[in-house]
Each structure stands twice: as structure tokens, then as C-alpha cells.
Amino acid sequence: MNNFNDFMYSNVPGMMTDPNMNTFDNDFMVGNSQNMNQNMNQNMDHLQLFDSYQGYMRGNMFQDLYDEYKNYKPQRLVGKDEQQERLLELSEVAFAAHDLNLYLDNFPNDKEAIKKFNEYRQKTNQLMEQYENMYGPLVISSNSLNTTPWAWVSSFPWEVNK
Amino acid sequence: MFSYQKRLQYPINIKSKNIEMAKLLVTQYGGSNGELSAALRYLNQRYTMPDDRGKALLTDIGTEELAHVEMISTMIYQLLKDATVEEIKAAGLDPHYAEHKRALYPTDANGVPFTVAYFATTGDPLADLSEDMAAEEKARAVYENLIDLTDDEDIRGPLLWLRQREIVHFARFKELYDMYKKELKK
Ligand SMILES: [Fe+2]
């Protein structure tokens, strides 16, 4: 049904993850075939997903699409307090749902992906509500907005969180 | 319609100011391959996609690009926030200071202001999606250039993450392009 195999592009620069390749300048290296060998079967396991923690760290839920730059590892995200930890947890599952959302836009009949999406969506809604009850609203539809003073006018996300 | 979530898609917490990096990073805000250009390109092209898959994908990726505009803007804001006038002059950002002080303004790294001439729309889904694929690849390349130019992990982490999003977006656009290419011929 879906043609996940069709886009195993081999001509995208920088597809290798072998840290040894880093010993010389690989700016123009063309896709390492080793990376392409992961067989994406069109059966039940066609979606090789990272878990939401690993996927969020990387910015990519899809193992076959993950493509490291040089030997840089994803940044390890650690919340400095309880609030930041809760926000990270929420962001993780929201991201996982979002990455599946993009995939499903192309393959709207993929039952397995819809199931996964809904797991992450439910978890996101649940963590969002918990977070908002403790730390204030993230969205204007939040139940936490029935207090005085108006809770929307506090803490914007571009301020440094030391 | 759109609504706002009061959180970044990925956290930005830059502890040390860095005027030089702010000057370079701004290209991913207002440069030709930047996030603002990406957001407007997809949100503008989505209306004439030939079916609901295309309308959905361009809406959702275009919306995500707005979250990336916010991430890049946050980085620039945090990098410049505590800069002294002396430091701004030394980094060659005094023309920016003259016009905008420490406020954000969408330009490329050379100070050229953002323009919608950076993107196109043809009404032809294959032509538009080809542009979108190229745009993702160019944005990926610029992220790699920027990653090469910094050793601050607070900056590099988000750049690596944003680079990875370009890879995912490219793959999604290519999937859709390949499907349309097959189907629209029939
Ligand atoms: Fe993108």
C-alpha cells in the first residue's frame, strides 16, 4: 500500500554515520550505501521508529531517515528543574505525534502509523493538561485560564531559562 | 486559522552572548533559504495542491516552519540581549544597531532584507514540490555551514536538530512528489 521504499534516496550528501569517515573532509561525500541497507519491509514493521525520547533528541522519529552530520551527536536535553523536565516530557511526545502527522499526510491509510499517532496524541494531551495545571497555560484553550490575574500574560518562551 | 502554543518546539537556552554568531544565524531567519522563506513558501503554495495529501503536508510543514522561525529568532534574541554597544561595533553589527538596536529584523547574514522574491509558486504541483525539496536541501546545507562556524553547544544543539528537520521535510516532499509524478500522468 505505501511505498516507503521508493524514497531510499542515495544521492543526498552527508548520509553516512560512520565516525571514521570524519578523518577526512567529507563535505561532498555521497550517500554511504551501508545506511541504505536497512531493509524497510512493507509489512507490519515498515515503520522503524525511535522511541519518543531518542526521536526528540535527534529531531527525527524515523530511523531510516536519521542522518548524522559529521560525528556530532544530538544534544542531551536535561531540565534544570521540575518544570523544565515536565516541559521536555511534553515536548517529546508532542514531537513524536507531529512527525507521525507529517508521515500520515502522505500515507493516510497506514493503520499502524495512525495507532502510534493516537498513542502520542493522547499522551500529549494528558501531559499538556498536567503541565498547565501546575505551571500555567501553554494554549489559549487551557482550563488553567480561569484565574485572576489573567495567566496568559506570563513567561514567554524566548526568555533564557537559566 | 492559527493559534499559538507558548513553548518552543525544541528548547533554546544560550548562556553566553555571541554577536558574531547572531550576525550569521540571522540568515536562517530572513535569508533566501531561511525559515521565514520556508514557512511562507509552503503556506502560500498549499492552496493549489491537487489533493488533500498535498494540502495537509504543506499546511503542516509550513506551520512547523513558523515554529522554526521562533527558534531561530529566540537564538538571535538571546545572543544579542546582553551585548554592549562596543561589542556590537567590534562585530560589525553597528549598522543593525543604528536601524534596529537589539531588535530582530529578517535579513540574511550580509544584512540584505527579506523579500518574497526568495520563493516562487507556479500552480504546478511538481514544479512547486521540486522547489520545496531544493529549499529543504539548501536550508540543510546552510545549517551545516553554521554548525561548522560555532563551538558553543548551546548553539550547535538546536542547529543540529533543525538540520534534521530539513532532512525529514525533504523526504516527505520527495515522497509526495514521486506519488504525484506517477499518479498525475495517468
Ligand atoms: Fe523545513
The full set of domains in chain B, from first to last, is 19-184 (1.20.1260.10)
Is it the case that residue A155 has pLDDT exceeding 90? Answer: no
Q: What is the ipTM of this complex?
A: 0.97
Is it the case that residue A76 has pLDDT exceeding 50? Answer: yes
Residue of A3, A4, A5, A7 to mutate, interface with B, max B Cβ within 10 Å: A7
When divided into structural domains, chain A yields a total of 1
Span from the CA of B48 to the centroid of ligand 1 (angstroms) = 19
Of B73, B158, B164, the CB nearest to A60: B164
> Are B23 and B109 within 8 A, CB to CB?
yes
Q: Using DSSP, how many helices (H) and how many strands (E) does chain B show?
A: 8, 0
> Are B28 and B142 within 8 A, CB to CB?
yes
* Cell matching residue A49: 521508529
Asked whether residue A51 is assigned to any structural domain, the reply reads no
The size of chain B, in residues, is 186
> Are B21 and B150 within 8 A, CB to CB?
yes
Q: Determine the distance in angstroms separating the CA of B175 from the nearest CA of chain A, rounded to an integer.
A: 6
Integer CA distances (angstroms), B42 to A32, A99, B184, in order: 30, 17, 20
| pLDDT the model gives residue A11 | 31
Residue of B63, B156, B175 to mutate, interface with A, max A Cβ within 10 Å: B175
Contact list in B for residue A139 (CB cut-off 8 A) is 3-6
Q: Do B157 and A9 touch (CB under 8 A)?
A: no
Q: Do A74 and B161 touch (CB under 8 A)?
A: yes
d(CA A97, CA A32) in angstroms, rounded, equals 29
Rounded CA Rg of chain A: 20
Span from the CA of B110 to the centroid of ligand 1 (angstroms) = 22
Asked whether residue A1 is assigned to any structural domain, the reply reads no
Is it the case that residue A129 has pLDDT exceeding 80? Answer: yes
Region at A14 (left for phi over 0; alpha for psi -120 to 50; beta for the rest): left
> Are A131 and A138 within 8 A, CB to CB?
yes
Q: Residue A123 belongs to what domain range?
A: 82-146
d(CA B169, CA B10) in angstroms, rounded, equals 16
Asked whether residue A28 is assigned to any structural domain, the reply reads no
Residues with Cβ within 8 Å of B111's Cβ and at least 6 positions away in sequence, in order, are B95, B96
Q: What percent of chain A has pLDDT over 70?
A: 71
Which residues, in sequence order, are bridge partners of residue B107?
B113
Q: What angle do CA B173, B178, B181 make, to 5 degrees?
A: 120
What pTM did the predictor assign?
A: 0.87
| pLDDT the model gives residue A22 | 35
* Cell matching residue B103: 531588535
Q: Do B15 and A160 touch (CB under 8 A)?
A: yes
Question: Which chain A residue has the Cα nearest residue B167?
Answer: A65
| pLDDT the model gives residue A115 | 97
Residue A13: name the closest of A33, A25, A26, A30 by CA.
A30
Helical spans, DSSP H, in chain A: 33-36, 52-58, 82-106, 111-135
* Cell matching residue B113: 532584507
Question: Which chain B residue has the Cα nearest residue A96?
Answer: B9
Rounded CA Rg of chain B: 17
- Tell me the per-residue pLDDT of A29-47, one tens digit each, with 9 for 90 and over: 333 333 333 333 344 468 9
User: For A161, what's the count of Cα atoms within 13 Å in the CB-facing half-sphere?
Assistant: 20
Written as tens digits, the pLDDT of chain B (186 aa) is: 999 999 999 999 999 999 999 999 999 999 999 999 999 999 999 999 999 999 999 999 999 999 999 999 999 999 999 999 999 999 999 999 999 999 999 999 999 999 999 999 999 999 999 999 999 999 999 999 999 999 999 999 999 999 999 999 999 999 999 999 999 876
| pLDDT the model gives residue A19 | 37
Residues with Cβ within 8 Å of A151's Cβ and at least 6 positions away in sequence, in order, are A136, A137, A144, A145
d(CA A128, CA A137) in angstroms, rounded, equals 9
Q: Do A102 and B61 touch (CB under 8 A)?
A: yes
Across B10-42, b (16+ Cβ under 10 Å) vs e yields bbbbbeeebbebbbbbbbbbbbbbbbbbbbbbb
Helical spans, DSSP H, in B81-124: 85-90, 94-100
Contact list in A for residue B14 (CB cut-off 8 A) is 160
The 3-state DSSP class for residue A62 equals strand
Asked whether residue A137 is assigned to any structural domain, the reply reads yes
| pLDDT the model gives residue A21 | 35
For residue B127, what is the enclosing H or E element? helix B125-148
| pLDDT the model gives residue A42 | 42
Asked whether residue A118 is assigned to any structural domain, the reply reads yes
